[in-house]
Amino acid sequence: MDGIYSFLNAILPMEAYQFTFMKNALLAVLLLTPLLGLLGTMAVNHQMAFFSDALGHSALTGIGIGIILGLRNDLLAMLIFGVVWAIMICLIKQSGSASTDTIISVFSSTSIAAGLLILARGGQFAKYSSLLIGDILAVTPQDLLYLLIALAVTLVLWVILYNALLMTSVDPMLARSRGIPTRLIECGFVVLVALAVMLSIKWVGVMLINALLILPAAAGRNLAKTSRGHAGWSVGIALVSGLAGLTASYYLDTSAGATIVLVSAVFYAVSLLIRSIRK
């Protein structure tokens, strides 16, 4: 890590990035924002904008169930429960028993209520309240390794599954007629989102994860003319929002996660203006 820190000192001679915790936060932003930017494009295309919100809420339930089962690793508990929760949402959605927004809303409200019920027993919820807003400044080198692995896996799967995911989101019937296992593809995608959300929740927070996943993708969709352009714009906006928000939060003494989300919101507002001018 010393070599990376020295390189950052050379290219970023700013007061903010002279501190190790800010360098770690910067590296986390460089790994996290492209990950969420890519996945956000398909979440928008699949009309599952609030899916990450339901998964974020389920993090609390995962920790609670982990405590009951005696799991000491909170991340492992969140990952297991998040994947199970995502698959359940996907299967019920595919059954056609209710609309997607209804299913997501039911799972979201249920998971946060169950999580609060378990974690608030004996007045212990204060220990986990930091998960609500996250703290990207608390990222460690080991956390960065997990994010690097997650980004690498996502990029590989993105290249392999991109066409199938896109066709499934645009026209599921056409995709099935061409032999694409749409149900399996869709469930695989939600599991991928679940893993990304659970890995990110500690630093982004339950209240902000959905915004960080969706805002860059929504802004990118307003600006892009092709599906690949959508992914490019989304990743670019996510990266710039992350870097600008992190830097601004240091000098303004504000929450890094909230500042990053607000910068993303500004990008979305500008993208709406550009889209209206084009029309």
Tens of pLDDT, residue by residue over 22-34, are 888 888 888 888 8
- pLDDT of 38 higher than 80: yes
Q: Report domain 20-274's class.
A: mainly alpha
The H helix count followed by the E strand count for the chain is 12, 0
Quick check: helix, strand or coil at residue 257? helix
For 231-278, write each residue's pLDDT tens digit.
899 999 999 999 999 999 889 888 888 899 899 999 999 999 998 888
In this prediction, residue 236 carries a pLDDT of: 93
Give the residue extent of every domain in the chain: 20-274
Nearest-angstrom CA–CA distance, 237 and 230: 11
In the chain, the percentage of residues whose pLDDT exceeds 90 is: 10
Mean pLDDT, the chain, rounded, equals 82
Written as one string, the DSSP assignment of 127-180 is GGTHHHH--GGG--HHHHHHHHHHHHHHHHHHHHHHHHHHHHHH-HHHHHHTT-
In this prediction, residue 198 carries a pLDDT of: 84
In this prediction, residue 213 carries a pLDDT of: 84
- pLDDT of 172 higher than 80: no
